[in-house]
Structure 1
Amino acid sequence: MTPPAQSELAVSLNTLAALAREPEPPALAGVRDFQRRRIQDNYGPDPILTFCTDRLLTGPDLSALTADPEATAARLGRLLGDTTAAAAALEFLALTETLDQAVATEATTPGEPGIIGFARASRRVGRIVDRHRQIDLVGIVVDELSGVATRRLSWMAFRMARTPARMAGFGEFYELLHAGFAAVRENPATVDRIPGWLTAERRRVERLLG
């Protein structure tokens, strides 16, 4: 029987593979840029926040993972051992890409939609439950990264997986997780501020889509 975490990995990878086969809406880059700037402007520059906006929100290239999602999920499970952080990160990436493409499709201009254009396109898309899940996943990812990064043996085990990950073709995804681990390890005070930021984002979603 496939472990639950590996099943979640495979579901997210299948979603990302399906999205990669679809043509990108012209406004997709603009939607991503708008959200990145909005988050940075609202919550200020911060290493963990920068990791979320510059690495998670910008759609990293995970094509090496999506050719055979089930096999990749099994290999990641063997490589990482605990795949909780990886599963949450991939679910966030898949959900974010799904929502971004939907909003970009509804945008009326090919460039950055701006606050009014983004709000109108987001209301047409709706999916408030998915928006709340997206926010929850950020909290899960940061909590999981923080837990591993503050446990010396877990952190050492993860660092030792770098070469095997590269040899298996998972180098870019490993570096994505490594950047997150490094951010929370080097800036533990920021982790305490994450719940407040996420609460503010939930309120924003309620105002926008509720």
Structure 2
Amino acid sequence: MTHTPSAADRIRTHLDRVAQLRQQARSAGLDRAVDDVKRLQAQRFRATYADFLKHPAYAPATHFFLEELYGVHDFALRDAQFARIAGALERLFPEAVAQLAVDLAETHALTEVLDHAMATHWLTQDAGLPPGVRYTRAWRLTGEREARARQLAVVQHMGLELQRLTRMRPLRLALRMMRNPARAAGLDALQHFLESGFDAFASMRDAQTFLDTIRSREGRWIDLLFEAPEDEISQALTAELARASAGE
């Protein structure tokens, strides 16, 4: 009989993978290159979603994605807290909350796997190359188009679930009431993440437009990075990065 992994098992598997990659990056001296890749990606995101960052309804959700999912931060503390209560999360919350946690863990793991591979190829490129050229070459050497598509699909599902859950007023109230117990239990980083996500999506009446735009814009960048002539995509990426810098 085939055993279907529980939500807690899947969360721990994804977070174990992230921890392994972090350790490998430190051991191989890749950690700085991983940060460079993440920083460049975050810069591109800020330019691509500059309009959303200024939009009253979409700004909180955009900041949530940029800071809590793709930011250049050390998420080790939050991950450890997440792994520690994965079983309790599955027992105490509705199934949709546990699935949301699985989506987060999978997105986190996919991002780390891809960024780790990108960093490896980033270091093989001449450091004197423009960042847009260096990033494009590292992207193409990494490949993994299916993983990129999966990453985008999971983010879409996570966003829809976040919006659905924010409409459950008792759940939001229960989350607020967990603040002090979470702090006492050393789960404050995880509590902050959950509240940030709920607050961000509660500010939108309908997340569909927000998520459709992300799918469209990221899908276009994925296509360009895989298919466009190198000089064309490198110039487009360089222009996008410059636009982000100009807006800082």
Question: TM-score w.r.t. structure 1 length?
Answer: 0.85
How far off is 1:171 after superposition?
A: 2.0
Q: Percent identity?
A: 28
Paired with 2:88 and 2:114, the residues of 1 have a C-alpha distance of 28
How far off is 1:91 after superposition?
A: 1.1
Cross-structure match for 1:9: 11
Query: How large is the RMSD of aligned CA atoms in angstroms?
Result: 2.7
Paired with 2:118 and 2:183, the residues of 1 have a C-alpha distance of 34
Question: Contact 1:39–1:53 (CA<8 Å) still a contact in 2?
Answer: yes
**2:134 counterpart (117, 135, 142):** 117
Q: Which amino acid aligns with 2:49?
A: Y
Question: Contact 2:81–2:187 (CA<8 Å) still a contact in 1?
Answer: no
Paired with 1:114 and 1:153, the residues of 2 have a C-alpha distance of 47
Per-residue CA distance 1:142-197 (angstroms, 9 max, x = gap): 11111111221222222233333334433212211211111111233555222122
Q: Please give the residue correspondences for 1:1-210 in structure 2 after superposition, counting only pairs within 5 Å.
A: 4-22=6-24, 23=26, 24-44=30-50, 45=53, 46-58=59-71, 59-63=73-77, 65-66=79-80, 69=83, 72-81=85-94, 82-107=97-122, 108=125, 114-189=131-206, 191-209=208-226
Per-residue CA distance 1:100-146 (angstroms, 9 max, x = gap): 12112211367997222111101011111111111112112211111
Paired with 2:129 and 2:93, the residues of 1 have a C-alpha distance of 38
Q: Which stretch shows the higher mean deviation, 109-118 or 197-206?
A: 109-118
Q: Which stretch shows the higher mean deviation, 159-168 or 175-184?
A: 159-168
Residue 31 of structure 2 aligns to a residue whose secondary structure is coil
Residue 32 of structure 2 aligns to a residue whose secondary structure is coil
* Equivalent pairs, count: 209
Paired with 1:73 and 1:132, the residues of 2 have a C-alpha distance of 26
Per-residue CA distance 1:9-31 (angstroms, 9 max, x = gap): 12112112212322143222221
Q: 1:192 to 1:111 in 2, by over 3 A?
A: farther
Paired with 1:7 and 1:209, the residues of 2 have a C-alpha distance of 34
Question: Contact 1:51–1:180 (CA<8 Å) still a contact in 2?
Answer: yes
Question: TM-score w.r.t. structure 2 length?
Answer: 0.73
Q: Which stretch shows the higher mean deviation, 135-144 or 184-193?
A: 184-193
How far off is 1:32 after superposition?
A: 1.2
How far off is 1:50 after superposition?
A: 1.6
Radius of gyration: which is bigger? 2
Q: Which stretch shows the higher mean deviation, 185-194 or 3-12?
A: 185-194
Residue 159 of structure 1 aligns to a residue whose secondary structure is helix
Structure 1: runs of 5+ lacking an equivalent? none
Paired with 2:139 and 2:173, the residues of 1 have a C-alpha distance of 42
Q: Which amino acid aligns with 1:152?
A: R
Q: Which amino acid aligns with 2:75?
A: D
Q: Which amino acid aligns with 1:75?
A: A
Q: 1:113 to 1:148 in 2, by over 3 A?
A: farther
Structure 2: runs of 5+ lacking an equivalent? 54-58, 228-248
